[in-house]
Protein backbone atom coordinates (compact mmCIF):
# COMPACT_ATOMS: atom_id res chain seq x y z
CA UNK A 1 0.00 0.00 0.00
CA UNK A 2 1.27 3.46 -0.88
CA UNK A 3 1.96 5.53 2.21
CA UNK A 4 -0.14 8.63 2.87
CA UNK A 5 1.41 11.65 1.26
CA UNK A 6 3.84 9.80 -1.00
CA UNK A 7 2.00 9.55 -4.30
CA UNK A 8 3.90 11.62 -6.93
CA UNK A 9 1.90 14.42 -8.46
CA UNK A 10 1.57 14.87 -12.20
CA UNK A 11 3.95 17.61 -13.37
CA UNK A 12 2.66 21.03 -14.34
CA UNK A 13 3.16 22.18 -17.93
CA UNK A 14 5.01 25.17 -16.43
CA UNK A 15 7.87 22.93 -15.35
CA UNK A 16 10.74 25.30 -14.53
CA UNK A 17 10.23 27.25 -11.33
CA UNK A 18 9.65 30.95 -11.70
CA UNK A 19 12.69 31.65 -9.55
CA UNK A 20 14.77 29.60 -11.99
CA UNK A 21 13.37 31.56 -14.94
CA UNK A 22 14.29 34.83 -13.27
CA UNK A 23 17.84 33.64 -12.73
CA UNK A 24 18.08 33.05 -16.48
CA UNK A 25 16.88 36.50 -17.50
CA UNK A 26 13.93 38.90 -17.54
CA UNK A 27 10.39 37.62 -17.14
CA UNK A 28 7.37 39.37 -18.66
CA UNK A 29 3.88 39.26 -17.26
CA UNK A 30 0.68 41.17 -16.68
CA UNK A 31 -2.05 41.64 -14.10
CA UNK A 32 -5.41 39.90 -14.53
CA UNK A 33 -8.54 41.66 -13.33
CA UNK A 34 -11.22 39.71 -15.23
CA UNK A 35 -11.87 36.63 -13.12
CA UNK A 36 -12.39 34.00 -15.79
CA UNK A 37 -10.05 31.10 -16.67
CA UNK A 38 -10.51 31.78 -20.38
CA UNK A 39 -8.72 35.11 -19.95
CA UNK A 40 -5.87 33.34 -18.17
CA UNK A 41 -5.61 30.78 -20.96
CA UNK A 42 -5.58 33.41 -23.71
CA UNK A 43 -2.84 35.38 -21.98
CA UNK A 44 -0.78 32.23 -21.56
CA UNK A 45 -1.30 31.13 -25.18
CA UNK A 46 0.01 34.44 -26.54
CA UNK A 47 3.21 34.07 -24.52
CA UNK A 48 2.66 35.86 -21.22
CA UNK A 49 5.09 34.15 -18.85
CA UNK A 50 3.60 35.35 -15.57
CA UNK A 51 -0.08 36.07 -14.99
CA UNK A 52 -0.98 37.90 -11.79
CA UNK A 53 -4.63 37.70 -10.74
CA UNK A 54 -5.16 40.85 -8.69
CA UNK A 55 -6.99 39.86 -5.52
CA UNK A 56 -5.98 43.16 -3.94
CA UNK A 57 -8.25 45.21 -6.21
CA UNK A 58 -10.42 42.84 -8.29
CA UNK A 59 -13.46 40.86 -7.10
CA UNK A 60 -11.62 37.53 -6.82
CA UNK A 61 -12.03 35.04 -3.98
CA UNK A 62 -9.87 32.01 -3.21
CA UNK A 63 -11.97 29.61 -5.29
CA UNK A 64 -11.66 31.97 -8.28
CA UNK A 65 -7.90 32.14 -7.81
CA UNK A 66 -7.49 28.37 -7.79
CA UNK A 67 -9.34 28.10 -11.11
CA UNK A 68 -7.07 30.78 -12.61
CA UNK A 69 -3.94 29.00 -11.34
CA UNK A 70 -5.14 25.75 -12.87
CA UNK A 71 -5.90 27.40 -16.22
CA UNK A 72 -2.57 29.20 -16.41
CA UNK A 73 -0.53 26.15 -15.58
CA UNK A 74 -2.40 24.01 -18.08
CA UNK A 75 -1.54 26.55 -20.79
CA UNK A 76 2.11 26.74 -19.76
CA UNK A 77 2.26 29.97 -17.74
CA UNK A 78 3.16 30.74 -14.15
CA UNK A 79 0.43 32.27 -12.02
CA UNK A 80 1.44 34.54 -9.14
CA UNK A 81 -1.28 35.88 -6.88
CA UNK A 82 -1.43 39.43 -5.56
CA UNK A 83 -3.07 39.26 -2.15
CA UNK A 84 -4.30 42.18 -0.04
CA UNK A 85 -2.11 41.72 3.03
CA UNK A 86 0.49 39.67 4.88
CA UNK A 87 -1.52 37.18 6.91
CA UNK A 88 -2.50 33.51 6.87
CA UNK A 89 -4.22 34.16 3.54
CA UNK A 90 -0.78 33.98 1.90
CA UNK A 91 -0.38 30.35 2.93
CA UNK A 92 -3.91 29.51 1.80
CA UNK A 93 -3.25 31.16 -1.56
CA UNK A 94 -0.07 29.13 -2.08
CA UNK A 95 -2.08 25.97 -1.37
CA UNK A 96 -3.77 26.59 -4.75
CA UNK A 97 -0.51 25.62 -6.43
CA UNK A 98 0.38 29.16 -7.45
CA UNK A 99 3.98 29.88 -8.41
CA UNK A 100 4.22 32.66 -5.84
CA UNK A 101 2.60 35.65 -4.22
CA UNK A 102 2.87 39.43 -4.38
CA UNK A 103 2.14 41.44 -1.25
CA UNK A 104 1.37 45.16 -1.62
CA UNK A 105 2.16 48.11 0.66
CA UNK A 106 5.12 46.62 2.54
CA UNK A 107 6.28 49.38 4.87
CA UNK A 108 8.78 47.86 7.29
CA UNK A 109 11.16 44.99 7.93
CA UNK A 110 8.49 43.58 10.26
CA UNK A 111 6.00 43.53 7.36
CA UNK A 112 8.52 41.70 5.17
CA UNK A 113 9.28 39.21 7.94
CA UNK A 114 5.55 38.53 8.30
CA UNK A 115 5.39 37.67 4.59
CA UNK A 116 8.24 35.20 5.00
CA UNK A 117 6.53 33.68 8.04
CA UNK A 118 3.43 32.72 6.04
CA UNK A 119 5.07 31.72 2.75
CA UNK A 120 8.12 29.65 3.74
CA UNK A 121 8.24 26.29 5.46
CA UNK A 122 10.43 25.88 8.57
CA UNK A 123 13.16 26.65 9.34
CA UNK A 124 12.84 29.77 7.14
CA UNK A 125 9.21 30.51 8.00
CA UNK A 126 6.22 28.93 9.72
CA UNK A 127 4.00 27.84 6.85
CA UNK A 128 1.95 24.72 7.54
CA UNK A 129 1.31 21.70 5.32
CA UNK A 130 -2.20 20.90 4.15
CA UNK A 131 -4.31 18.91 1.73
CA UNK A 132 -4.61 21.64 -0.90
CA UNK A 133 -3.87 21.50 -4.60
CA UNK A 134 -0.17 22.38 -4.13
CA UNK A 135 0.43 19.05 -2.40
CA UNK A 136 -1.69 17.12 -4.92
CA UNK A 137 -4.43 17.12 -2.27
CA UNK A 138 -2.04 15.53 0.26
CA UNK A 139 -1.04 12.75 -2.13
CA UNK A 140 2.45 14.24 -2.39
CA UNK A 141 3.12 16.29 0.71
CA UNK A 142 6.79 15.42 0.80
CA UNK A 143 7.66 16.82 -2.62
CA UNK A 144 6.01 20.17 -1.99
CA UNK A 145 7.53 20.42 1.48
CA UNK A 146 11.02 19.76 0.13
CA UNK A 147 10.87 22.01 -2.95
CA UNK A 148 8.58 24.95 -2.18
CA UNK A 149 11.05 27.14 -0.30
CA UNK A 150 13.39 27.09 -3.30
CA UNK A 151 10.74 27.24 -6.01
CA UNK A 152 8.05 29.69 -4.92
CA UNK A 153 8.51 33.37 -5.70
CA UNK A 154 7.81 35.82 -2.89
CA UNK A 155 7.42 39.45 -3.93
CA UNK A 156 7.20 42.47 -1.62
CA UNK A 157 5.84 45.71 -3.08
CA UNK A 158 7.29 49.04 -1.95
CA UNK A 159 4.76 51.66 -2.96
CA UNK A 160 4.21 54.09 -0.07
CA UNK A 161 6.08 56.91 1.63
CA UNK A 162 6.64 54.70 4.69
CA UNK A 163 7.95 51.86 2.53
CA UNK A 164 10.31 54.21 0.76
CA UNK A 165 11.68 55.45 4.09
CA UNK A 166 12.24 51.86 5.30
CA UNK A 167 13.44 50.39 2.01
CA UNK A 168 16.97 49.56 3.21
CA UNK A 169 15.55 47.48 6.06
CA UNK A 170 12.93 45.82 3.85
CA UNK A 171 15.40 44.65 1.20
CA UNK A 172 17.60 43.08 3.90
CA UNK A 173 14.95 40.56 4.98
CA UNK A 174 15.86 37.03 3.91
CA UNK A 175 13.10 35.04 2.24
CA UNK A 176 11.94 37.90 0.02
CA UNK A 177 12.93 37.20 -3.60
CA UNK A 178 11.73 40.29 -5.44
CA UNK A 179 11.32 43.90 -4.39
CA UNK A 180 8.67 45.38 -6.65
CA UNK A 181 7.91 49.05 -7.22
CA UNK A 182 4.28 50.11 -7.47
CA UNK A 183 4.69 53.40 -9.36
CA UNK A 184 1.08 54.60 -9.27
CA UNK A 185 0.57 54.05 -5.55
CA UNK A 186 4.01 55.46 -4.79
CA UNK A 187 3.12 58.68 -6.61
CA UNK A 188 -0.21 58.79 -4.79
CA UNK A 189 1.38 58.24 -1.40
CA UNK A 190 4.00 60.92 -2.01
CA UNK A 191 1.40 63.34 -3.36
CA UNK A 192 3.36 63.96 -6.55
CA UNK A 193 2.79 63.50 -10.28
CA UNK A 194 3.79 60.15 -11.72
CA UNK A 195 6.87 60.60 -13.87
CA UNK A 196 7.89 63.84 -12.24
CA UNK A 197 11.34 64.41 -10.71
CA UNK A 198 10.41 63.47 -7.12
CA UNK A 199 8.54 60.37 -8.26
CA UNK A 200 11.35 59.24 -10.56
CA UNK A 201 13.87 59.71 -7.75
CA UNK A 202 11.72 57.60 -5.41
CA UNK A 203 11.42 54.79 -7.97
CA UNK A 204 15.16 54.86 -8.51
CA UNK A 205 15.75 54.82 -4.75
CA UNK A 206 13.78 51.58 -4.35
CA UNK A 207 15.46 49.98 -7.34
CA UNK A 208 18.99 50.89 -6.25
CA UNK A 209 18.43 49.67 -2.68
CA UNK A 210 17.10 46.33 -3.92
CA UNK A 211 19.90 45.82 -6.42
CA UNK A 212 22.53 46.72 -3.82
CA UNK A 213 21.06 44.04 -1.53
CA UNK A 214 21.21 41.44 -4.31
CA UNK A 215 17.44 41.25 -4.74
CA UNK A 216 15.64 40.90 -8.04
CA UNK A 217 13.74 44.06 -8.88
CA UNK A 218 10.22 44.20 -10.28
CA UNK A 219 7.97 46.98 -11.48
CA UNK A 220 4.55 47.53 -13.00
CA UNK A 221 4.98 49.07 -16.45
CA UNK A 222 2.48 50.97 -18.56
CA UNK A 223 3.86 49.59 -21.83
CA UNK A 224 6.47 47.33 -23.37
CA UNK A 225 8.59 50.42 -24.07
CA UNK A 226 8.62 51.13 -20.34
CA UNK A 227 9.56 47.50 -19.71
CA UNK A 228 12.54 47.78 -22.06
CA UNK A 229 13.69 50.96 -20.35
CA UNK A 230 13.44 49.49 -16.88
CA UNK A 231 15.16 46.28 -17.94
CA UNK A 232 18.13 48.36 -19.07
CA UNK A 233 18.26 49.70 -15.52
CA UNK A 234 18.43 46.21 -14.05
CA UNK A 235 14.77 45.29 -13.58
CA UNK A 236 13.97 41.66 -14.44
CA UNK A 237 10.41 41.09 -13.13
CA UNK A 238 8.31 43.19 -15.50
CA UNK A 239 4.52 43.28 -15.33
CA UNK A 240 3.00 45.18 -18.25
CA UNK A 241 -0.44 46.81 -17.97
CA UNK A 242 -3.51 44.64 -17.23
CA UNK A 243 -5.89 42.40 -19.12
CA UNK A 244 -8.56 45.12 -19.11
CA UNK A 245 -6.08 47.69 -20.42
CA UNK A 246 -5.24 45.40 -23.34
CA UNK A 247 -8.93 44.83 -24.02
CA UNK A 248 -9.70 48.55 -23.95
CA UNK A 249 -6.77 49.51 -26.18
CA UNK A 250 -7.69 46.85 -28.74
CA UNK A 251 -11.39 47.73 -28.76
CA UNK A 252 -11.33 51.53 -28.61
CA UNK A 253 -10.19 52.21 -32.23
CA UNK A 254 -13.21 50.27 -33.50
CA UNK A 255 -15.74 52.32 -31.55
CA UNK A 256 -15.43 56.03 -32.37
CA UNK A 257 -17.65 58.35 -30.37
CA UNK A 258 -19.34 59.49 -33.56
CA UNK A 259 -19.91 57.80 -36.86
CA UNK A 260 -19.33 59.94 -39.94
Catalytic site residues? Answer: 57
Can you tell me whether residue 218 is helix, strand or coil? Answer: strand
**Close Cβ partners of 42 (under 8 Å, ≥ 6 residues apart):** none
Q: Around Cβ 168, how many Cβ atoms within 10 Å?
A: 13
* Partner residues linked to 178 by β-bridges: 155, 216
Asked if residues 224 and 240 have their Cβ atoms less than 8 Å apart, the reply is yes
Read off φ and ψ for residue 259, nearest 5 degrees: -90, 140
- Contact between 151 and 212 under an 8 Å Cβ cutoff? The reply is no
Question: What is the rounded end-to-end Cα distance, in angstroms, of the chain?
Answer: 75
Rounded Cα–Cα distance for residues 239 and 222 (Å): 9
Residue ranges of alpha helices (H) inside the chain are 18-24, 37-45, 62-74, 89-94, 109-119, 141-151, 161-165, 167-171, 183-190, 197-212, 224-232, 243-251
* DSSP, res 112: H
The Cβ of residue 243 has, within 10 Å, a number of other Cβ atoms equal to: 23
Amino acid sequence: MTAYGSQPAAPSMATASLRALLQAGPVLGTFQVIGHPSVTEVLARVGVQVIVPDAEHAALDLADLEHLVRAGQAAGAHVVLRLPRADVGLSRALDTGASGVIVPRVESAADAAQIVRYTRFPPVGERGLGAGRATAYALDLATHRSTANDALLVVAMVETRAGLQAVDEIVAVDGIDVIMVGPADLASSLGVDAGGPEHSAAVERVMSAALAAGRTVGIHCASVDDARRYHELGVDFLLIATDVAFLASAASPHFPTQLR
